[in-house]
Chain A
Amino acid sequence: DQQVKQNSPSLSVQEGRISILNCDYTNSMFDYFLWYKKYPAEGPTFLISISSIKDKNEDGRFTVFLNKSAKHLSLHIVPSQPGDSAVYFCAASARDGNQFYFGTGTSLTVIP
Chain B
Amino acid sequence: DAGVIQSPRHEVTEMGQEVTLRCKPISGHNSLFWYRQTMMRGLELLIYFNNNVPIDDSGMPEDRFSAKMPNASFSTLKIQPSEPRDSAVYFCASSLYQPQHFGDGTRLSIL
Once the chains bind, are A99 and B100 in contact (CB under 8 Å)?
no
Q: Give, as a whole number of angstroms, the nearest-CB distance from A83 to chain B.
A: 18
Is the CB of A85 closer than 8 A to any CB of chain B?
no
Q: How many A-B residue contacts, CB cutoff 8 Å?
A: 54
Q: Is the interface of B mostly helix, strand, loop or mixed?
A: strand
Instruction: Name the B residues within 8 Å of A44 (CB-CB).
Output: 43, 91, 102
Once the chains bind, are A98 and B31 in contact (CB under 8 Å)?
yes
Instruction: Name the A residues within 8 Å of B104 (CB-CB).
Output: 41-43
Q: Which of A12-20, A53-61, A70-78, A102-110 makes up part of the contact surface?
A: A102-110
Is the CB of A30 closer than 8 A to any CB of chain B?
no
State whether A43 and B4 are in contact (beta carbons under 8 Å apart), knowing that A2-B41, A89-B42, A99-B56 are contacts in the complex: yes
* Interface residues in chain B, defined as those with a beta carbon under 8 Å from any beta carbon in chain A: 4, 31, 35, 39-45, 48, 50, 55-56, 91, 93, 95, 98-105
* Interface residues in chain A, defined as those with a beta carbon under 8 Å from any beta carbon in chain B: 2, 6, 32, 34, 36, 41-46, 49, 89, 91, 98-105
